[in-house]
Amino acid sequence: MLDMKAISKVYQTDMVQTHALRDFNLHVAEREFVAVTGPSGSGKTTFLNIAGMLEPFSGGQYCLDGVDIGKLNDNARADLRNQKIGFIFQGFNLIPDLNLYENVEVPLRYRGIKSAERKRRVEECLELVGLAGRAKHLPQQLSGGQQQRVAIARALAGRPRFLLADEPTGNLDSLMARQVMELLEQINREGATIVMVTHDPELARRAPRNIQIVDGRVTDFTLYQGRSMDT
Residues at the site binding ligand ADP, with contacts judged by CB under 6 A: 11, 13, 18, 20, 38, 40-46, 53-56, 69-70, 74, 77-78
Query: Between 39 and 191, whose beta carbon lies closer to ligand ADP?
Result: 39
Parallel, antiparallel, or unpaired for β 67-68 and 59-64? antiparallel
Instruction: State which residue, 59 or 70, has the beta carbon closest to ligand ADP.
Output: 70
Q: Identify which of residues 36 and 100 has a Cβ nearer to ligand ADP in the complex.
A: 36
CB-based burial of residue 163 (10 Å sphere; 0-12 exposed, 13-18 middle, 19+ buried)?
buried
Q: How deeply is 23 buried, as exposed, middle or buried, from its count of CB atoms within 10 A (0-12, 13-18, 19+)?
A: middle
CB of 16 to ligand ADP, least distance (A): 8
Q: How far is the CB of 180 from ligand ADP (least distance, A)?
A: 20
Residue 42 CA, distance from chain mean position:
17
CB of 130 to ligand ADP, least distance (A): 28
- In single-letter form, the type of residue at position 89 comes to F
CA distances from 120 to 115, 127, 152 (A): 9, 11, 16
Nearer to ligand ADP, 39 or 133 (CB): 39
Q: Give the nearer residue to ligand ADP in terms of CB position, either 38 or 160.
A: 38
For residue 96, give every residue at least 6 positions away whose Cβ sits within 8 Å of its Cβ, in sequence order, or none.
138, 139, 140
In the bound state, the residue with its beta carbon closest to ligand ADP is 56
Give least dist CB 43 to ligand ADP, A: 4
Give whichever of 18 and 225 is closer to ligand ADP, judged by the CB atom.
Answer: 18
- Tell the smallest beta-carbon distance from residue 6 to ligand ADP (Å): 15
Name the residue nearer to ligand ADP (CB basis): 69 or 128: 69
CB of 165 to ligand ADP, least distance (A): 13
In the complex, what is the shortest distance from the CB of residue 97 to ligand ADP, in angstroms, rounded to a whole number?
A: 19
